A = this chain, B = another copy of it.
């Protein structure tokens, strides 16, 4: 590929001095379409996104690109290499407990600066200026800070420096044991139907440190502030967290299917030319984030997970049964767990052994079709 380049980004150092690096792949388009940033594996065990990036790179070689595309596998080399026992423990910094996907930055006071200075500027100027303000803010935190920065923020900020340069941001994740699902900002709901993903969670404009939010919250808020001033601006920014299924798995065949699903969305957004990639026909369920419920185990024990992903589980039907052999003979050895409303199970915990209070299932309630 003549329009292909590769860069290696250093984002950390371990105790022995080993440098932690991230490979960055860039494909150059004609410049006539929106630009795209795709990253994978910010959580250590969520590796399938790397395989999807592999397949995307293979497919994009044969595509006609309007927009530039940046692809970043292995986004978090600390998490990615953090084995404990057989498994990878990369959901949060092992020292601080902070989720690796809650360390991106957005300072809402920047909005005011833009509004004050550019209330009458044209949209391109506003885009350029706001982006630059956010980049400067992050550069300051990265490089002008006498007391330094946590391991995770250093990584997150380096990634965010790249993400901020693009119009569309896809952050590839997986659940523990999980069906595919999509986190989508409420305002971008119509885009969800271009992914071949059955479950969409619609999220409001609240910044909690994740990459998707760090991308759409600033622009969404800016849009709303301008709307209050009577200007309707569309900055063309979209951002999704794409959950590809279960963690701790690499499946290159499935990755090809997911790459095609992403290309269906990118074709819709005119990032690539042509009509090769069409969304599949499927029933797409959605619910609002407030209705995406976590069910915590009411007891310790060993779980036989019964609720099937993507199937409506009627009120009162068993979601799971918990084995408590210590109770055999003088108590209940089997406990059936049910819910008071119809739900769609989307993912469950990765292990059969749970403490009281472990996050057992995540389910859609008050779901509807897109």
Binding site for B on A (CB under 8 A): 4, 6, 12-18, 20-21, 23, 25, 44-45, 47, 50-51, 53-54, 57, 73-74, 77-78, 80-89, 91-99, 146-154, 176, 248-252, 293-304, 321, 323-330, 333-334, 339-340, 349-359
In the complex, residue of chain B having the shortest beta-carbon distance to the beta carbon of A154: B357
Known: A86-B87, A250-B304, A252-B321. 5 other contacts (CB 8 A): A14-B300, A23-B326, A83-B355, A87-B350, A151-B358
The 12 listed contacts between A and B (C-beta, < 8 Å) are A18-B81, A44-B353, A73-B326, A84-B89, A88-B353, A96-B359, A149-B296, A151-B355, A151-B356, A153-B357, A249-B352, A250-B352
Check if A301 sits within 8 Å of B176, measured CB to CB.
Answer: no
Check if B15 sits within 8 Å of A18, measured CB to CB.
Answer: no
State A333–B74 Cα separation when bound (angstroms).
Answer: 13
Known A16-B300, A302-B51, A328-B57; judge A353-B80 contact (CB<8 A): yes
Q: Measured between C-beta atoms, what is the minimum distance from A73 to chain B in Å? A: 4
Which B residues touch A98, using CB under 8 A?
97
State A81–B13 Cα separation when bound (angstroms).
Answer: 10
Most buried by B among A16, A85, A88, A303: A16
**How many copies altogether?**
4
Which B residues touch A353, using CB under 8 A?
15, 44-45, 47, 80-81, 83, 88, 248
State A18–B325 Cα separation when bound (angstroms).
Answer: 11
Check if B87 sits within 8 Å of A357, measured CB to CB.
Answer: no
State A20–B324 Cα separation when bound (angstroms).
Answer: 15
Choice from B21, B25, B95, B352 contacting A358 with Cβ under 8 Å: B95
Known A94-B85, A248-B352, A328-B23; judge A293-B15 contact (CB<8 A): no
Choice from B146, B296, B328 contacting A340 with Cβ under 8 Å: B146
State A304–B6 Cα separation when bound (angstroms).
Answer: 24
Which B residues touch A329, using CB under 8 A?
4, 6, 25
Check if B45 sits within 8 Å of A351, measured CB to CB.
Answer: yes
State A323–B324 Cα separation when bound (angstroms).
Answer: 32
Check if A95 sits within 8 Å of B89, measured CB to CB.
Answer: no
Which B residues touch A252, using CB under 8 A?
304, 321, 323, 334
In the complex, residue of chain B having the shortest beta-carbon distance to the beta carbon of A50: B325
State A296–B145 Cα separation when bound (angstroms).
Answer: 10
Known A296-B148, A358-B95; judge A6-B88 contact (CB<8 A): no
